[in-house]
């Protein structure tokens, strides 16, 4: 909630914008220019008497009348409550637009994947694969409660380098740095606070000895429970284009990346590219 002083200040500026609002402001500017031209013309042409007065007093009269009309209209709006409505005060220039969620890409990283626990009580998979993930944050210009991005999901699509061939798409999973079992820490939707907190969107998983990497999300543990190598989301060594749409109840942003799978013994690399 805005403080009383701030509300008064916003109301005053909105009242002032009504005084000099369109189309009156155009008339004010035109009349002011004509006053100046008339005064200069009267002095340069050495006009006297009625002619000397008319060339600048007529546009001056129009200017004063326009300003008076603006004051009366703005004051009427103030007393009828039109300027003091909370929802309209919130739409003052620079307030709501700056407080809207703004998703930014912060970077990427390769980190050890969470523990993979196969079914039937078998020991966990070793060595652990590497998880390549993207980091995003919500950084509106005004970090207020109105800037929170709600129910944010990440939809990921994989293409070849030229974007001519589509391989597969999936709803991404958000994860954190916890050492707990992945099922307890990965979700497909999150609320992103407006304080630049980093959020991690998982992209692919790769074992050091493998040539290929694999798309990974919340379905992976079901689709490939043994080792998370989901053959239907397999990406061989090479260069790929990745489209990531981060969207929620009040936000939607699209990002493009280049994914470089360098083969066995080397980790995946990511490069942000333009659309």
Q: How far apart are the first and last CA of the chain?
A: 39
Same domain for 25 and 124? no
Same domain for 164 and 228? yes
Looking at the predicted structure, is the pLDDT value of residue 117 above 70?
A: no
Task: Report the sign of the C-alpha dihedral through residues 163, 167, 171, 173, in that order.
Answer: negative
Measured N-to-C along each axis, helices 49-79 and 4-19 cross at an angle, to the nearest 10 degrees, of 140
Same domain for 67 and 114? no
d(CA 215, CA 229): 8
Predicted pLDDT at 213: 97
Give the SS3 label for residue 170: strand
Q: Looking at residue 124, what DSSP letter applies?
A: P
Report pTM.
Answer: 0.61
Q: Looking at residue 208, what DSSP letter applies?
A: T
- How many structural domains comprise the chain? 2
Residue predicted with more confidence, 15 or 150:
150
Same domain for 149 and 193? yes
Predicted pLDDT at 64: 75
At which of 51, 66, 89 does a domain end? 89
Under a CB-based contact definition with an 8 Å cutoff, are residues 64 and 8 in contact?
no
Give percent of the chain with pLDDT exceeding 70.
62
Q: How far is CA 5 from CA 8, 86, 253, in A?
A: 5, 14, 35
At which of 68, 89, 110 does a domain end? 89
Same domain for 9 and 37? yes
Closest of 167, 250, 181 to residue 218, by C-alpha: 181
Same domain for 51 and 162? no
**CA 182 distance to own-chain centroid:** 29
Give the SS3 label for residue 58: helix
d(CA 182, CA 116): 8
Same domain for 232 and 104? yes
pLDDT, tens digit, 9 for 90 and up, residues 218-257: 999 899 988 899 999 999 999 999 999 999 988 999 999 9
Min mean pLDDT across 96-110, 148-162, 172-186 is at: 172-186
Same domain for 252 and 131? yes
Same domain for 260 and 141? yes
Q: Which domain holds residue 260?
A: 97-273
Same domain for 125 and 235? yes
Same domain for 64 and 177? no
Predicted pLDDT at 77: 62
pLDDT, tens digit, 9 for 90 and up, residues 27-71: 677 767 776 777 677 667 666 666 666 666 776 777 677 777 776
**CA 48 distance to own-chain centroid:** 62
Reading the block at residue 15, the tokens are: 């009242």
């Amino acid at each position: 909630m805005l403080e009383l002083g701030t509300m008064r200040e916003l109301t005053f500026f909105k009242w002032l914008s009504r005084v000099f609002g369109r189309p009156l402001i155009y008339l004010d500017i035109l009349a002011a220019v004509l006053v100046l031209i008339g005064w200069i013309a009267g002095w340069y042409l050495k006009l006297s008497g009625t002619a000397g007065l008319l060339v600048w007093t007529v546009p001056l009269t129009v200017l004063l009348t326009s300003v008076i009309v603006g004051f009366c209209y703005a004051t009427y709006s103030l007393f009828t409550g039109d300027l003091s409505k909370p929802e309209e005060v919130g739409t003052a220039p620079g307030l709501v637009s700056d407080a809207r969620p703004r998703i930014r890409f912060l970077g990427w990283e390769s980190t050890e994947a969470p523990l993979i626990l196969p079914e039937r009580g078998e020991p966990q998979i070793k060595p652990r694969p590497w998880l390549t993930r993207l980091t995003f944050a919500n950084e509106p210009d005004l970090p207020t409660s109105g800037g929170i991005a709600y129910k944010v999901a990440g939809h990921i699509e994989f293409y070849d380098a030229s974007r001519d061939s589509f391989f597969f798409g999936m709803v991404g999973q958000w994860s954190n740095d916890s050492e707990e079992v992945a099922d307890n820490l990965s979700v497909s939707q999150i609320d992103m606070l407006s304080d630049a907190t980093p959020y991690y969107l998982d992209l692919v998983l790769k074992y050091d000895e493998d040539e290929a990497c694999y798309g990974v999300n919340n379905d992976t543990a079901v689709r490939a429970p043994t080792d998370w190598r989901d053959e239907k989301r397999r990406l061989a060594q090479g260069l790929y284009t990745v489209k990531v749409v981060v969207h929620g109840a009040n936000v939607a942003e699209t990002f493009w990346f280049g994914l470089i799978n360098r083969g066995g013994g080397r980790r995946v690399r990511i490069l942000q590219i333009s659309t």
